Amino acid sequence: MEETAEFVSNAGEDSASVAAVTMDVDNGLIEDDKSKDAEVAPALIAVHPFEKSVAVAVGFELRLFDLEGNCSVSLVDDSGGPSHSDAIRAIKFGANGRLFASAGDDKLVKIWATNPWHCIRTVSAEKRVSAVAISHNGHYVAFADKFGLVWLIGLEGDNAKQSNNDKKAVMILGHYCSIITRLEFSPDDRFIASADRDFKIRVTVFPKQSLKGAHEIQSFCLGHTDFVSCLAFAYPSGCANGYLLSGSGDSTVRLWDFISGVLLATCEVGAKVGSLEPNGTEDAQSPISDLCASSDGSIIAVALQYSNRVALLSCDFSNGNLSVAKVVTLEENYFPTSLGSSSLSKCLWMVMGASNLPMPGSAQLPTRLRIISGLRKDPSDYHCHDPIILEDNEVPGGQKLLSELQGSLDVTKEEAALAAAAAAVKASMRNMMIKKEYTLERREMRKKNRNDRKIK
Amino acid sequence: MSDNTGTKVKGQSCRLPRKRFYRARAHSNPLSDSHFPIPICPAEFDYSHHYPYFFPSGGEDHKNGSASPRKVRFADIGCGFGGLLVSLSRLFPDTLMLGMELRDKVTEYVKERILALRASNPGQYENISVVRTNSMKYLPNYFGKAQLSKMFFLFPDPHFKEKNHRRRVISLQLLDEYAYALELGGIIYTMTDVEELGDWMRSCLEDHPLFEAVSEEELEADPVVKLLTSATEEGQKVARNGGQTFRAIFRRIKFEEE
């Protein structure tokens, strides 16, 4: 164990580098802490804002399907950089759909043009990348690393004129050594919001000369009592100001006035929806795994890490009221790891899967794609269209799409693998995000093993 | 030590805690996960616990009446044994000040010291308190935007090794958070006896768009500046050994985009 060795050789209470951030120091007293599943990344999905294509990332694989041409997309990489070689942790489409970004544990940020699909830039990060965002004007790509720093890549103007290869990203802001879980630009590009595992959401003014750094903090949104897992801006029509929505490991979704940092509403989604542990026990504290909101906030879909139900929230922005409006129950053992939706918000796309499955077997990593349709209802006939889960033969793109994005058409055979994937994702999230608390005994034990205490 | 408070000893009514019972390691890792309680947001910070004189439990702030409640205005980050807080308390008796210290034994000492001072000098030292916290991680949990008028970073851990530079309490990224907590015109005081760290802190502050150096004349007129070396335990130690100090004192300014 690398960390242990480092720890012993290190004087003082520190364990340095990544170990210090994740507090992975372990003397073998906790058995399963360091098992392989610590490095499992959830499968991700992103939908083109105009529903022209869909992307699924699982492991280092990026799977794309062109919904317009009804064909799979083979990725062309002429940026001269390496391709992804480790788990992809974040994918995102730009607001106008022309850009797409992918980044992950291999410390690469790849920026793609979508029409036609080709990689226009590969940027090497110093640390593993945990989040990525594209400014709405398409001029910048921001990414965050596991050490809590946010970096910016300029794509337009002077920045683009630099030679294409040695353009480095510039650091613009930092959370103090905390894993940043999500990055999001406000729709007007005036702010950039970053969420971390230390319960914080920081809203920073995104300046015009942003490559010089974003130093002015607009607000901190504080109220979550566990890591923040997802963020979404919402600008409801008729409201002058925008709002921020966040989901967290504390099983709640919260609504913020991000200009002042005031908490407007809290929705205990976990308690309302209920979630199931694999062994059948209820676990109300299931972390929110993803949140997907339409730009006007009229549709807010929330997935819990261990629930086969997706909650649709309704939000009364002006009165600060956030509540669960509908619960869509999916098949048993389906726990979406990521949600996606186009700006049209007709359908909610969901994917379930994980990288580095603990069980070997199939050559391709299986994922399971499901779609909930009928989200956007006609206000005139309120009760007519309930959200429905599309059957596999009703999915746009049909079998072609499913076999491309899922890895195989018939993933029912892979059910065991998928269930294992869900469990692995949960365990690895917990390892990464939740602060480890050591017993008094263990702390004493560690102190005894401290190098500077050994007297010869 | 609490059994000592209130006992009458010749000449002094309450015995101050003695440092030798509070020996602590000089360094503490600010990167490690902490498990001490932290207020979820500044509104959850318990003022009546820290400043019972200004916030009698159950009652309104009797000094301010219905006006906006009094808030902490000075923060001493890494307050150590609290020498500066005690001196500042006499200089600004109506200003609430909070010391923040990562080492728990040291925090205990300061706590006892303040309680002993309050007991032996009724009505005094009611405006200072201390918390054990990691200010590099949790500063926004204690202070709202533009709440502070002065922040002190005196004789911080120098973290010489380059790979440990990110543990330094002054860095370009952390200055963003300090700028957030400081009001416009608020002042950040830094001082060290390590030249390398002095240069580092100065260059961080100079590079940050939200801070500008305070002029020498203003520093001359500022009564606080003299306390930086004379009131702090570390400052006194440096003076005893005839060492040099390096200070960088900057003001929070408005962000101007060129």
Which of A21, A175, A209 has the CB atom closest to B31's CB atom? A21
Its sign, for the CA torsion A448, A25, B168, B111, is negative
For residue B189, the model assigns a pLDDT of: 96
- Is the pLDDT at A29 greater than 70? The verdict is no
Going along chain B from its start, the domains and CATH numbers come out as: 35-252 (3.40.50.150)
Which ipTM value was assigned to this complex?
Answer: 0.88
d(CA B74, CA B97): 5
Interchain contact B184–A (C-beta under 8 A): no
Distance CA B235, CA B189 (A): 14
Pick the CATH number of A78-222 from 2.60.40.1840, 1.10.490.10, 2.130.10.10, 3.30.1360.70: 2.130.10.10
Helices (H), A201-350: 269-273
DSSP state of B15: P
Is residue B157 flagged as an active site residue?
A: yes
Residues B86-101 have pLDDT tens digits of: 999 999 999 999 999 9
Q: What percent of chain A has pLDDT over 90?
A: 43
Tokens 């942003």 map to which residue? A210
Best residue in A198, A215, A218, A446 for a mutation probing chain B (most B CBs within 10 Å): A215
B210 touches chain A (CB under 8 A): yes
> Once rounded to an integer, what is the mean pLDDT over residues A82-87?
89
Mean pLDDT score, A226-240: 90
Is residue A447 within 8 A of residue A438, CB to CB? The reply is no
Pairing between β-strand B72-77 and β-strand B96-101 as defined by DSSP bridges: parallel
Taking contacts as CB-CB distances below 8 angstroms, the residues of chain A near B140 are 200, 220, 222
The average confidence (pLDDT) of chain A is: 81
Tens digit of each residue's pLDDT (9 = 90 or more) over A266-303: 999 988 887 555 555 555 578 999 999 998 888 999 99
In which band, very low, low, confident or very high, does the pLDDT at B56 lie, cut at 50, 70 and 90? confident
Min Cα separation A17/chain B (Å): 8
Report the C-alpha gap between A141 and A164 in whole angstroms: 15
Which pLDDT band, with edges at 50, 70 and 90, does A412 fall under? Answer: low
Which one of the listed residues B3, B46, B61, B157 is annotated catalytic?
B157
- Please indicate whether residue A422 or residue A196 has the higher confidence score (pLDDT): A196
pLDDT tens digits for range A244-275: 999 999 999 999 999 999 999 999 998 888 75
pLDDT at residue B205 in the model = 96
What is the per-residue DSSP string for A420-439?
HHHHHHHHHHHHHHSPP---
pLDDT at site B17: 85
The amino acid occupying position A371 is: I
